Structure formats: C-alpha cells, structure tokens
Amino acid sequence: MTLIVIAVVALLAIYVVITYNALIRRRNQVDNAWSQVDVQLKRRLDLVPNLVETVKGYAAHEKATLEAVITARNAAMAAGPGPEAQGQADNMLTGALRQLFALSEAYPDLKANQNFLALQEELTSTESRVAYARQFYNDSVLEYHNKLDTFPTVLVAKIGRFPHREFFEAEDAARTVPNVKF
C-alpha cells in the first residue's frame, strides 16, 4: 500500500513539473513573439523619417499631412510597453501613413521618384512583417491562454501565478479607409 501511495505522489509530482515547464515554454514563446512585433514596429519607425523627407521635396505645401505622420511616429516611439499601448500608437501611425501614400497619387513626379518608390516598397515589406509578427504573437497568446485555462493545467497555472496576456488588437478606426481630399 505504501508503494502505491509513493507511486501516485511521484506521478503527481512529475505531472506538475511537466505542466509547469510547458507553461514556462508557452510564456516564453509569447514574450519572444512580442519581441518580434516590437522589432518590426521599430524598423518601421526608422523608415518613416526618410519617407517624410523625400515627400517634403515634392509636396512642401502638404505640411499638415507630413506633420501628422511625424506626430504619429513620435507618439509611437513614446508609447508604453505592451500590446495595448503599442497597438493604439501603431493604429495612429498606420492611418497617417495611408494618408501620406494617398497624397503621393496627386504628385506624379513624387510617384516616379526612385527614392520614394524604394522607401515605399521597404515600408510595404515592413508592414507585411508587422502583420505577420502580430499574427504570430496573437497565435502564441491564444495557445498560452488555452494552456492556462484547461483543466487540470489551470491548477498548476494558479499555483505558479501565470498571468493572462493581452492580444494585439486594431482599433475600429484602423479598419476604415482614410478620407483624403485634394
């Protein structure tokens, strides 16, 4: 009888250790995924000043649009850590960049400028990377939450105090097409 109790306790201890380690791996995956989002957002922030300077030469009288992009970039750089703060700042910058690219349609010389085209292509590529990194982050958070909330793992998660994480979500304003008038 004593051997059975020892075996059950040992199996239970092994289960707790394996489950705890699985939760640690999921949590680290979420942290890594967020780091990838952060890297791509910073990459985009680094491209914006070059793009604005190129546009300035062609569309100097479109000062409001250029200032909106600069303001949005500065807000994104100053945004606090975490998906919610970064998401809000990112949505503002995305809207400003959309207006900037819409502005380029009104200036054929700008649209044909090789530097502008290269920067636009680089920014478009970066946008794809940001979208992928966001998706990977949200998928990682979903897997982590599923692991946290399923029984009997939830018992180990509560003992280990594993917190839920925020999803990276776009605001409703980011889902609308900007209204640009010339």
pLDDT tens sequence across 157-168:
999 999 999 998
pTM: 0.74
Residue 178 in this model has a pLDDT that exceeds 50: no
Predicted pLDDT at 118: 83
Predicted pLDDT at 149: 95
Token pair in block for residue 18: 């394996």
At 81, the pLDDT band (50, 70, 90 cuts) reads confident
Q: What topology is assigned to 2-167 in CATH?
A: de novo design (two linked rop proteins) (1.20.1440)
Sign of CA dihedral 23, 27, 28, 33: positive
CA atoms of 26 and 160, how far apart (whole Å): 13
Per-residue pLDDT of 30-67, as tens digits, reads: 999 999 999 998 898 888 888 888 777 766 667 777 78
Sign of CA dihedral 95, 127, 110, 105: negative
What is the mean predicted confidence (pLDDT) over 148-172? 89
* Spatial contact of 69 and 119, defined as CB atoms under 8 Å apart: no
Per-residue pLDDT of 13-35, as tens digits, reads: 999 999 999 999 999 999 999 99
Predicted pLDDT at 84: 82
∠ Cα 73 79 84 (to 5°): 115
